[in-house]
Amino acid sequence: MEEVQRKQTLFSAVQPSGAVTIGNYIGAIRNFAALQDAYNCHYAVADLHAITVKQEPAALRRNTLELIALFIACGIDPEKCVLFVQSHVPAHCELAWVLNTITYPGELSRMTQFKDKSAKHADNVNMGLMDYPVLMVADILLYQAALVPIGADQKQHLELTRDLAIRFNNRYGSTFTVPDGYFPKGSSARIMSLADPLKKMSKSDENPNGFITMGDDRESILRKCKRAVTDSEAEVRYDPQTKPGVSNLLTIYCAFTGKSTAEAERDFAGKGYGDFKLAVGETVADALAPVQAEKARLLADKAYLNAVMKRGEEAAARIARKTLSKVYRKVGFYTGE
């Protein structure tokens, strides 16, 4: 018990907004399990965030359950970590409201993700989309997290988290831990689209050849890798500036084999792109097969997954309530005392 208390606290979340890609896995989820022994970990399914773009209700419900199963299949141990669904803990919305009162619209309208998503969902630029980062700040600060494992696309949101924590602490006295981001090394923090290696790999890409999902079958994975955009040279060399497609495939290969870029380059010295793409595809398919099997096994036991979520909800709510009470006291809400 003492041991647990000495560990630093960590928080991260993933949206259940469609299929999870190998970008999500390499950039974030694979670190979740890797960090669970060293940190006091909290991992959430960010369903409140997901509804900032239109979701089909039945699909959202299904994706939430699937994401909990995927977390566990990727090695997250619910006995070691607090694993829960964001909407099950009302304190997230409650803290977000308070934080809204110290956030300026200009800080939110200049966020890259807000601008990108507004352009992409021009028919649904809602307040939730703009307020998305403040809810994310609330997620992190509620647990007094010191560390947040995320991909490079979330850097701006982490900066806002630090800004708001400091702003609140300055105004009301020390309340929140100011967190640091934990980014995977090198280009693993930003896996690019297979169809356009200058664009981030994204589950919302309308071209399904751009991304590999954690649920893709072997044949699809091999096909997508085979079709991946590369260049007109025939040399497997890591150089993101001049060879973004090949470099991205090398990053994916290294992420799943644990090899360094130099080792990977040696593996493919003198080989053509056909062999290289096939090897990358096979590596990814081999790595995903056991995860897919374990996820399927877990999904067959909904009672177990529900029990995990319930336990996670209770543990998360306890911690979150403690921080929220402190915040309510600091801002001057009447508590009867």
CB of 334 to ligand TYM, least distance (A): 30
- Asked if 28 interacts with ligand TYM (CB under 6 A), we say yes
Cβ contact 201:193 at 8 Å? yes
- Active site (annotated) includes residue 203: yes
Letters for 225-264 (x = contact with ligand TYM by CB under 6 A, - = none) are ----------------------------------------
Active site residue 117: yes
Nearer to ligand TYM by C-beta: 183 or 268? 183
Q: How far is CA 175 from CA 164, 231, 293, 323, in A?
A: 11, 52, 44, 8
**∠ CA 184-188-160, rounded to 5°:** 55
Ranked by CB distance to ligand TYM, the top (closest) residue is 27
Residue 22 CA to residue 20 CA, distance in Å, equals: 7
Sole binder of ligand TYM in the list 201, 214, 298, 305 (CB under 6 A):
201
Phi, psi (rounded to 5 degrees) for 82 = -90, 115
Residue 70 Cβ vs ligand TYM, minimum distance, rounded to whole Å: 12
Question: Is residue 281 a contact residue for ligand TYM (CB under 6 A)?
Answer: no
Binding-site residue total for ligand TYM (CB under 6 A)? 25
Q: If you write DSSP's letter for every residue of 13-63 in order, what string do you get? A: EE--SSPPBHHHIIIIIHHHHHTTTTSEEEEEE-HHHHTTS---HHHHHHH
Stretch that binds ligand TYM, among 33-41, 188-196, 266-274, 291-299 (CB under 6 A): 188-196
User: Among this protein's residues, is 185 annotated catalytic?
Assistant: no
Burial of 8: CB neighbours in 10 Å, binned 0-12, 13-18, 19+ = middle
Tokens of 183: 């980014």
Torsion of CA 125, 320, 76, 147, to 10 degrees: 80
10 binds ligand TYM (CB under 6 A): no
Does position 191 interact with ligand TYM (CB under 6 A)? The reply is yes
Least distance in angstroms from the C-beta of 61 to ligand TYM: 17
Q: What are phi and psi of 8, to 5 degrees?
A: -75, 155
Is 24 among the residues that bind ligand TYM (CB under 6 A)? yes
Read off the tokens for 13.
């979340």
Residue numbers 119-178 binding ligand TYM by CB under 6 A: 136, 139-140, 148, 150-151, 153-154
The tokens for 126 are 């809602």
CB of 27 to ligand TYM, least distance (A): 2
Residues near ligand TYM (CB under 6 A) = 11-15, 23-24, 26-28, 46, 49, 136, 139-140, 148, 150-151, 153-154, 189-191, 200-201
Residues that are catalytic: 117, 200, 203
